[in-house]
Amino acid sequence: MSGNIAKIYNMRLADDGSAVVILDQSRLPGETVYLTLSGREELFEAIRSLRVRGAPAIGIFAAYAIYILSAQTKKTDYDGFYAEFLDNKAYLDAARPTAVNLRAMLDRMDAVVHRHAGRPVPEILEALKNEALAIHREDIDMCRAIAEHGLTLVKDGDCILTHCNAGPLATSEYGTGLGTFFLARERGITLRAYCDETRPLLQGARLTTYELTRAGIDCTLICDNMAAAVMKEGKIDAVFVGCDRVAGNGDTANKIGTLGVAILAKHYDIPFYVFCPSSTIDFSCKTGDDIVIEQRDPAEIKEKYFTAPMALPEVNCYNPAFDVTDNSLITAIVTERGICRPPYTESLAAMFKKD
C-alpha cells in the first residue's frame, strides 16, 4: 500500500519568534506533550534531559535556541551583543559533548554574527532568525535525499534491524536511518523492521516503534540481547542506524549498543549501513578515538522506567551514552550527497572535504 503517511513534526519556531515549540520526546509514547521554551536554563535542560534528541534535531534546536536568547538581549552595541552571544553559545554547547551537530550549528550561527560585524543589533537578529529557519529547511531536504539513496540498498520485502531512533523525531521530517522506511511506504515498497529496544533510555522501544506504527510500517520490538538470535535465524537482511558523529576515517559514534550490533552483523555477513547528513561528519576528528563520549547518570540504568530500583543504591554503574563503531564494520555510510564506501578516508574526503 502506498500514499501519504502520518508525519511527525517535532519542532518549530513560535509564531512570534520568541520561543521554540518542541514535542517532548521524554514523555513519549504515553503522552504527547508540546513545550514552549524560551528561558536559558530550560533550553539547556531540553537538550541535556533528552526532551529534544537526535543529532540533527539537536542542531536545529540549538540554532533556534541561540537566536531566541540573542533576541532577549538588552545590548545595543555590537561588541556587547557579541560577548553575550558567545556566552550563550558556550552554555548551550556544554549540554551534550558527543553530537557534532550541536557545535556545528552554533558555529554556523556564530558565522552569521561575524558576517554582520558592526551592523545594528536588529539587523543581526533578523539574519540569525533567517539562518535558523534555513537550517531547519535544509535538514528536511537532506533527510529526503538520504532516504532516496537508502532505497537503492533495499528490495521489496526486506527486513531491517534498527537500533536507537533515527526517524523524524531525531531529525526534521523523514529521518536518516528510518527515512528509507517512510519513503518506501509512500511508494508502495514493503519493508519490515526489527527494532532493538535500546537500553537504558529505550529510544527504540519508545520512539522508533511509535514512529513506524503510526506510519503503518510492520515492526517488531526486541530486547537488545535478542539481535544475535534474529540474525542467526535469517530474519535480518540489513542493519540501518543513524549516528551522532563520523570521524574522518569513517569511525562512527552512535547510541550505546551500536558497536555490538555491528560486530554481530559482520559475523553473520549482514550489511551494516550508517545514515547521516553531512553536518555529522567531523574531519577534525581523525579517528573514533578523538570522539568524546558522554557519560550519563547511573540512575538511568538502575531506576529509569522501572517502578522500583533494579539494583542496590550502592551498586556502581558505567553509563556511556554512545559507543564508536570501527569503520571496518561498516558496509557503507549513506549521506544526502551519495553513498560512501571503504576506504572512508578517501570516499568521505572526495565527497565532502573542502579544498
Give catalytic residue positions.
244
279 vs 352: CA distance, rounded Å: 10
| Closest by CA position to 287, among listed 251, 242, 340 | 251
Q: What is the DSSP letter of 344?
A: H
Report which residue type is found at 173.
Answer: E
Q: Give backbone dihedrals phi and psi of 211, rounded to 5 degrees, phi first.
A: -65, -50
Strand partners, 12: 21
CA distance 330 to 312: 38
Rounded Cα distance, 290 and 179, in Å: 29
**What is the C-alpha separation between 208 and 170, in angstroms, rounded?**
10
Q: Is 276 in a helix, a strand, or coil?
A: coil
Q: What is the DSSP string of 122-166?
A: HHHHHHHHHHHHHHHHHHHHHHHHHHHHHHTT--TT-EEEE-S--
Does residue 96 sit in helix, strand or coil? Answer: coil
Query: Do residues 18 and 24 lie in contact, with contact meaning Cβ atoms separated by under 8 Å?
Result: no
Instruction: Please answer whether residues 246 and 274 qualify as being in contact, where contact means their C-beta atoms are separated by less than 8 angstroms.
Output: yes
- One-letter amino acid for residue 97 of the chain: P
C-alpha cell at 48: 541535556
Rounded distance, CA 134 to CA 172, Å? 12
In angstroms, the CA 58 to CA 279 distance is 12
